[in-house]
Structure 1
């Protein structure tokens, strides 16, 4: 992945997250963040 692609991908993800928070609030983003952290902990267990 080139730097240009990485920057555009980061801009797209952050923009989508900002729109989501603007229109729907932060409750589900917080929930998904907690679940993603639990998933990472589960993956670390199997490492």
Structure 2
């Protein structure tokens, strides 16, 4: 969360929308990185 706060405090880098978009993208990537190996393992084990 500290990184998010740092980003939001620097409006010349990001607008609020792009910050939330970046956060969503990172969350999505981390969720995919967690879920995809589990799916692959379950498919391979079958």
TM, length-normalised to structure 2: 0.51
1:25 to 15, 23, 27: 15
Higher relative contact order (CA 8 A, sep 6+): 2
Larger radius of gyration: 2
Paired position in structure 2 for 1:3: none
Between Structure 1 and Structure 2, the one with more helix by share is: 1
Number of aligned residues: 32
Following TM superposition, where does structure 1 have runs of at least 4 consecutive aligned residues deviating by more than 2 angstroms? none
> RMSD across aligned C-alpha pairs, in angstroms?
2.2
TM, length-normalised to structure 1: 0.50
In 2, distance between residues paired with 1:44 and 1:25?
Answer: 29
* Structure 2, unaligned runs of 5 or more: 39-46
